[in-house]
Structure 1
Amino acid sequence: MKMAGISSKKALVYLAGQDVLEFHSPLSTISSIEKPDQIIFDFDPQDDDFEKVREAAFILKKILEEYGVKTFVKTSGSRGLHVHLPLKAHYKFDKIKSISRKIAEILHQKCPEITTLEQRKEKRGNKVFIDFLRNDYAMTATTPYSLRARKGAPIATPVDWKELNDNSLNPRSYHLKNIFQRLEKKENPWKNFNKYNLNIDINNLFD
C-alpha cells in the first residue's frame, strides 16, 4: 500500500491540483510510521439522530477526563463525530488498538442503550457505532479540514467541546462556503493538539 507523504503547503496544493478532494491520513507520521501519535474514535450513527452522537461523545470525554486524558473533537463532515486523543509515539499499533478497544468497551458499558460495538451494520439497529478499528496500521481517518465528497461540500472541522452544546451544530455545519469565515473569526480549537501528547503510561492506564 502506498501513501502520499505531505511535508509542505506546496505538496498539499499539488495534490489538490491533481483533483484530490478528500484527504485521509494515518495515525502515525513518517518518522515513526509503526507507532501512532494519536487514538481516534469515530462515532458513526445508523440514522441522522445527531443527539445520540453528541451524548456518546460527551460521555467519552468525561470518562477520559477522569484518567487525566485530554480529548479533541471534530465534525466528520458526514453524519458523526471524531474524538482524538494525542499520544506520545511509544507503542506500536497492536498495543494502541487493544487500548482503544478497552476504552470503547468502557464507553459502551456506560451507555449501551445508544451505542454499539457491533461491526455488522445490519445488527446495529439505530445505535451509534463506536468505531475504534481505525487504530490499526495502514488504516486512515479523515484529515482535519478535509473536504468530503458529499452534497454541499461539507468539511471535517475541528470544534471545541463547548460548541457541541449548541443544538444547531451538526456534522455538516461547516462547508466550503462558510469555513473561511469561521477560520477568520475563531482560533483553531486544535492549535495545541501536539502539546497534549500523553505523558502518562497509557499502556497501564486502563488495566
Structure 2
Amino acid sequence: MAATAEIIEVDGISVRVTHPDRLYFPRLGSRGTKRHLVQYYRAVASGPMMAALRDRPTHLQRFPDGIEGEEIYQKRVPVHHPDYVKTCRVTFPSGRTADALKVTHPAAIVWAAQMGTITLHPWPVRCPDTEHPDELRVDLDPQPGVGFGQAAAVAVDVLRPLLDELGLVGYPKTSGGRGVHVFLRIATEWDFVEVRRAGIALAREVERRAPDTVTTSWWKEERGKRIFIDFNQNARDRTMAAAYSVRSTPIATVSTPLTWDELADADPDDYTMATVPDLVNQRADPWSGMDAVKQSISPLLAMADADAARGLGDLPYPPNYPKMPGEPKRVQPSRDADLTRRNRRK
C-alpha cells in the first residue's frame, strides 16, 4: 500500500507530508509526484529561496490535486496551522485586511508545498512594514507570437543599459514561462503609488528605446506582437513568482535567478524542479548581493515628472482597484465612445 504520510525534517522542524505519491505533474510520470515537489523545496528553501522570501507576506498558488486539477489562489493562512507558520497582516486595495503567510523559516516553504502550493507569490515588502516596498519589479511579458528570446534581448540590450545610465542595479530571473523578471532592491522611503509611478517611467523609457519591440499599453488590443511591460506589478497586492518557485507547467519549470550573461543565452526549459537543485549547489547565487543594495528611485521619479510635463500622466490600474487620483478611464479604446467621437471629427 502506498504511503499516506511522511515526516520531512527541515532545519530542525518536522513537516508532515500527506499523500506524497499523488501525481502533480502528469507529464513527468513517477518523477512528478508531490514528494518530488516537497523534496525540491526542501533542497532550495534553506538557501537562496529563503533569502528571497524572508519576512515577506506571501500568497499561495495551490493545486492540491496536481496541475491539471483545481487551482486555488490563497491569500490567507488557514486558522489552524503549525506553530512554525507565522503570519503578517496585509491590506488590500479594497481596504480589507488578511493574515498572509510570513516566511520566517525554511519549514514554512515546505509546509506550503505540503498544502499543494506549486508557486509562492511574495509581496514586494517585508513585515512588519507592509506599506513601503523594498523592491521595484519589472515584468517583461511576451504577447502572443513573441517568445522568451525576445524578452531576454529586451532585458539585456535595452533595460540593462538604461539601468546602468541611471546608476541602478537590476537582478534578472526567468519567469518560469516565456517572460523575464528583473527586480531592483530599493530603500523603503516610498509607498506603492510612488513605486508604481517610478515603474511606469522606467517602462516608458524602455518603450521609447525599442518601440517596435516593447509596449506599455494596458489594453491587449493595442499591444501587438511585442513585449508588454506590466507596470501594474508594482501596485498594491500584485505579486510575482518568487525566485526559485516552481511553476505550473508540464515539465515543472522554475523561476530561476540568472546572471545577465546567463540570461542572454538562456532557455527557460533548462531550469526545472529536477535541475535547479544541482545548479544551486554548483554556483553562487546571482542574487546574493541584492540585500546590500538599497537604491533610490528618485531618478525614476524625475523621469516621471518629465513625462507628466509632456502630458504623459498615469496609466490604468487593474479593474479590481478603486478609482485612483489622476488615473485615466479604464475603458479599452475600441469601446471608448468619447475617443470614437473624437476620431470621427478628425
How does the TM-score come out when normalised to structure 2?
Answer: 0.57
Matches within 5 A, 1:46-195: 46=143, 47-58=145-156, 59-166=158-265, 169-195=266-292
- Cα distance change, pair 170–21 in 1 and its aligned pair in 2 (3 A): same
CA contact (8 A) 1:78 1:154 kept: yes
Rounded Cα–Cα distance in structure 1 between residues aligned with 2:126 and 2:180: 23
Q: Does 1:13 align with 2:115?
A: no
Rounded Cα–Cα distance in structure 1 between residues aligned with 2:232 and 2:264: 27
Q: Counterpart of 2:248 in 1: which secondary structure? A: coil
Q: Counterpart of 2:195 in 1: which secondary structure? A: helix
Structure 1 portions without partners, runs of 5+: none
Q: CA RMSD in A?
A: 1.6
Q: Tell me the amino acid that sits aligned with residue 177 of structure 1.
A: A
Per-residue deviation, residues 17-64 of structure 1 (Å, max 9, x unmatched): 111111011111112101000101111101343232122112111101
- Cα distance change, pair 130–203 in 1 and its aligned pair in 2 (3 A): closer
Q: Counterpart of 1:21 in 2: which secondary structure? A: strand
CA contact (8 A) 2:198 2:301 kept: no
Q: Tell me the amino acid that sits aligned with residue 74 of structure 1.
A: K
Aligned to 2:135: 38
CA contact (8 A) 2:185 2:291 kept: yes
Q: Which has the higher contact order (CA 8 A, sep 6+)?
A: 1
Q: Tell me the amino acid that sits aligned with residue 40 of structure 1.
A: R
Q: Give the paired residue count.
A: 205
Q: Tell me the amino acid that sits aligned with residue 69 of structure 1.
A: L
Q: What is the identity percentage for the equivalent residue pairs of Structure 1 and Structure 2?
A: 27
Rounded Cα–Cα distance in structure 2 between residues aligned with 1:173 and 1:196: 29
Aligned to 2:124: 27
Q: Tell me the amino acid that sits aligned with residue 28 of structure 1.
A: V
CA contact (8 A) 1:67 1:205 kept: no
Rounded Cα–Cα distance in structure 2 between residues aligned with 1:99 and 1:203: 5
Rounded Cα–Cα distance in structure 2 between residues aligned with 1:54 and 1:15: 30
CA positional deviation for 1:83: 0.7
Q: Counterpart of 2:183 in 1: which secondary structure? A: strand
178-187 or 42-51: bigger deviation: 42-51
CA positional deviation for 1:200: 6.9
CA positional deviation for 1:122: 3.2
CA positional deviation for 1:190: 0.3
CA contact (8 A) 2:133 2:192 kept: yes
How does the TM-score come out when normalised to structure 1?
Answer: 0.93
Aligned to 2:8: none
CA contact (8 A) 1:154 1:172 kept: yes
Rounded Cα–Cα distance in structure 2 between residues aligned with 1:48 and 1:173: 19
Q: Tell me the amino acid that sits aligned with residue 153 of structure 2.
A: E
CA contact (8 A) 2:199 2:300 kept: no
135-144 or 117-126: bigger deviation: 117-126
Q: Tell me the amino acid that sits aligned with residue 195 of structure 1.
A: A
CA contact (8 A) 1:101 1:132 kept: yes
